[in-house]
Chain A
């Protein structure tokens, strides 16, 4: 079974520039998540999709972050404009069923490491 694919692996941008990350979940997984992991901390959920609809975006900084999941498969996460504090690893995960049910594990990609200078 192919895992969650993310690209790019690394990205360096200057503050106020924009950046986009791409995620391809495991085939058949209806639920997709984006997490942000700042160095030394555990991952923090940004947004959860069920198919192409948003389930939870309560922790997404909507003034600069946006995400979409067209056709219910691939997803992109965008930051515009970036700030220094956005430097982090951005992780994509998918699951067969929503995590809120309790029994469906998440499968994570290896993330995109973003450095904002």
Chain B
């Protein structure tokens, strides 16, 4: 079963960029890389997803390594409201959306 590895926690200063890494060395060719985040007392929120190419949306950017064995979620300018648990998840290949423990992002004022 394809697994992702993320740091347990990261800190960032407000208004600075944040790079959240994710390793997925056993990714298959049909797996999509999804990112979700969960703010306190809320359900998970979809952030972004991609297959091979880098992706941008209003919330973040997703940079995918050329061999697809790792990816990075980029928040261009962190705010206090971005403090959350960020989950990197592989989907596709008949796989469910399975959450790991994610990365707890702390944003310092």
Q: A residues within 8 Å of B by Cβ?
A: 4, 33, 41-45, 48, 56, 91, 93, 99-103, 105-111
Contact = CB atoms under 8 A, between A and B. Distances in A.
Interface string B92-105: 11111111111000
28 contacts: A4-B43, A33-B97, A42-B101, A42-B102, A43-B44, A44-B99, A45-B97, A45-B98, A56-B96, A99-B91, A99-B96, A100-B92, A100-B93, A100-B95, A100-B96, A101-B92, A102-B31, A102-B51, A102-B93, A103-B51, A105-B49, A106-B36, A106-B46, A108-B44, A108-B45, A110-B42, A110-B43, A111-B43
A29 B38 CA distance: 21
Contacts of A100: 91-96
B5 to A, nearest CB: 14
B92 A102 contact: yes
Interface string B13-41: 00000000000000000111010100001
Contacts of A42: 87, 99-102
Given A108-B43, A110-B43, 20 more contacts: A33-B97, A41-B101, A42-B87, A42-B101, A42-B102, A44-B99, A45-B98, A48-B96, A93-B44, A100-B91, A100-B92, A100-B93, A100-B94, A100-B95, A100-B96, A102-B51, A103-B49, A105-B34, A105-B46, A106-B46
Q: How many B residues are at the interface, by size bracket?
A: 20 to 34
Interface string B67-95: 00000000000000000000100011111
B92 A106 contact: no
A102 B101 CA distance: 20
B97 A99 contact: yes
Contacts of B51: 102-103
A97 B92 CA distance: 11
Contacts of A107: 46
Nearest to A43: B99
Given A102-B30, A105-B34, A93 B99 contact: no
B99 A102 contact: no
Contacts of B95: 99-100
